[in-house]
A and B are shown apart, each in its own frame.
Chain A
Amino acid sequence: MKTRVYTLFALMIISAMLLSACTMPAAAPTGGAAALVADQPIELLYMTHNHAQSIPVNEAIVAEFQASHPNVKITFDNAPHSNYEQKVLTAFAGGQGPDVFWAGDWMVPQFLDAGIVAPVDPAAFGVASQDEFEALFDAGALDAFKADGNIYTGGVSEYNTFSLIYNVDAFAEAGIDPLPKDQPITWEELADIAAKLTVKDGDAVTRVGLAWPFTTPIWTVLIQEPMLRQKGGELVNAEGKADFTQEPMVAVMTYLQNLRNAGGIDPATYTDLLQDFASGRSAMIFGGPWAAKPLSEINPDLNWETAPLPQFADAVDRVTTLYAWAWFVSAKSSPEKQKAAWEFVNLLTSKQQEWWDKVGYVQARQAEVDGMSLPEYYAQSDERLATIFADYPYGKAEFRSTKYFELSDIWTRAQDRVLSGEDVMTVLQDAQAQADAAMTE
């Protein structure tokens, strides 16, 4: 009896092992396997993150598209922002990837490496070539989505830069003049101002001078990469190698350590970017046009202003940050699905006014609203935004690497250690060793 049970158990284990081997995950199937007849029903899966205000807008556009394309049925799926990218990637890995989806520009190298995004079909946008398609958008807005002479997006769903947003009353209280709107102050000046704005009650910091989400890797890149570039550095060089020990990186990290030592920043006090700022717990933050609406909602009495992103006194170039979420179409979908998907994206990108009025997302596809260009229309809603829009032309997209997530984590860990007071060079050498290990795989 025992022998039989053991035999049965052994057989189960062997079966499981064989099953494991047989079903070793392979790359998701490529599209175009079965050609669909033009009028045959087409089902599209559209996936976005779950930013609350964007959901009704997406749903309305889906309904409008389905009404004008009766043979197309779109399933709209949205997932929490925090693990959205992982959900998209695992869906593709399981062969259930979406046909149309949102993703950040930093994902492009990974998408291209895996062959899961399709080059744009200009015809769906009513133009004949990719050049004409690009001309529909702000200059440079699609740069992050180009590779091998192709553009791999149907348009930008959210187009952002970071400028300085500050509390005017806190400035007045500290005896600091409002910042110029047409000329950036230097990072060195910002450090002095941040230290002066920090208020303590005994050992408790009741207001910190400057704050950003210190433990969020993408914020590390968005804040520090423009600083690095102003100093003439690049995290990832042309050969794709990361360099954490370059002089500009040492200078940036040393600057941050000094900023911390002077009391201008205090990561321990951070809870939430906008809540902290709106409630007076921080006096300055970095933010884009998206910040205006929630700040007014959280605290309508808050007296805030904007200033251009600071630049180093010895900057070799004026650089700000630029990042975008965009609409992608899956290269794994059938040609018929891709065709319908691009037409759907055309409709999505042509709703510039809705995206701004209802969601607060800046669009890169040019349009006239009430006789105004989009930046004019945006600035009309809040004139403080004009300063932020003036920072866009100096923006550069984040570094390109298939190891984006790993490198941004390494960068954040290095920043943590530097802000904890460790020796900058030792920390950066450790970061370099980790980056080398990551890049060699």
Chain B
Amino acid sequence: MTANFASRQATNQPKQPRNNGLFGNTLEARKKRFGLLFAVPAFLFFGAFYVYPLFQTFYVSFFSWGLLDEPSFLGITNYTRLFADKEFLNAIWVSFFYAFGVVIPIWGVALGLALIFNQAFAGRQAYLTTYYIPAVISLTVWSLIWLLMYNPTFGLFTVVIRWFGITGVRILDDPATAMLGMIILSIWKGTPVYMLIFIAGLRAIPGDYYEAAQIDGARAWQRLLFITLPLLRPVFLYVMVISIIEAFKVFTPMYLLTNGGPGSATRVLSMFIFQNGFQYLKMGYASAASVIFLLILLLLAVFQFRLLRFQQSD
């Protein structure tokens, strides 16, 4: 009787909630901890090569430091100097001009090509492979190919535009056209990757929608406008975010083809930072420029993600 009462009392006691969290004692918690163990190398890598340098850069931006000397604290002087530096302001403008000059055409061309290659036609795979070739060539090699293409004497680009009656073009040598030259080679190089992403997005749209629309008498442009584009919106926003960030990070073509010139016509932010940091050994100044560069990219990303959230809730 007594034993029965005791066991009943124990049964009636309020149950302790099962702790399935990371620090719990359940099987699920153990699984989580075990899973985390596998993520540790990635965390360490990310911490050592991304988080630590990020904070280091931020810290160094408050110092004058020439790599070989003792750092001296400057406070925010590097930042105030930057905003008075015409070359830095020019580099920001050049970066924006380049980035949007590249990505806006890429979005249109990549989407257009994706729509074409999403259709079945003879030789589609061969054409697709050909269009993808620029993406697999290294940017260094690609830049050097275009250096020869732009040569005003024997370059293929010069020869082609001469057929259209355009003569006397010295594309990389003229401050008015040098950036256009960079934009053209970058569009050609970047389009195939985004085209593939768009194709993947198009393939994910269920065919039923198109069949239903067809039965309802929707024309091709209506199917594009009211089915394809709205359903492709998340992919499009992903492409926007990635392409803009990639375009802002550009360095190689400017370094190899014009060294930022003529004058400062193609001196993008990444080149400004490289030159100040590793050629002029102004690490504090270059770090401050990097922090501002990061903030610009963050602001752009936040704006785009907000747009994405707005579109999704829409």
- Residues on A facing B (Cβ under 8 Å): 1, 4-5, 12-13, 16-17, 19-21, 23-28, 83, 86, 89-90, 92-93, 110, 113-114, 116, 202-206, 215-217, 266-269, 271, 281, 403, 405-406, 409, 412-413, 416-417, 419-420, 422, 430, 433-434, 437-438, 441
Contacts and interface: CB of A to CB of B under 8 A. Distances in A.
B67 A93 contact: yes
A90 to B, nearest CB: 7
Contacts of A403: 280
B259 interface: yes
B263 A16 contact: no
B274 to A, nearest CB: 10
B282 A441 contact: yes
Given A1-B22, A271-B147, A16 B68 contact: no
Given A16-B55, A114-B66, A266-B170, 10 more contacts: A19-B52, A89-B281, A90-B278, A204-B154, A204-B158, A268-B171, A268-B173, A271-B147, A409-B280, A441-B282
Contacts of A116: 68
Contact of B261 (A19, A21, A215, A405): A215
A205 to B, nearest CB: 6
Q: Is the interface of B mostly helix, strand, loop or mixed?
A: loop
26 contacts: A4-B21, A4-B22, A4-B23, A16-B55, A17-B55, A17-B59, A19-B52, A20-B55, A20-B58, A20-B59, A24-B59, A27-B69, A27-B70, A92-B68, A93-B68, A205-B153, A215-B259, A405-B279, A413-B263, A413-B264, A417-B263, A420-B174, A430-B86, A433-B86, A437-B85, A441-B64
B41 interface: no
Contacts of A412: 259, 261
B275 to A, nearest CB: 7
B65 interface: yes
Contacts of B275: 409
B69 A20 contact: no
Nearest to B64: A441
Interface of B: 21-23, 47, 51-52, 54-56, 58-60, 63-71, 81, 85-87, 147-148, 151-154, 158, 162, 167-168, 170-175, 258-264, 275, 278-282, 285
Contacts of A25: 60, 65, 67, 71
Contacts of A202: 167
B259 A269 contact: no
B262 A416 contact: yes
Contacts of A4: 21-23
B128 to A, nearest CB: 33
Contacts of B52: 16, 19-20
Contacts of B148: 271
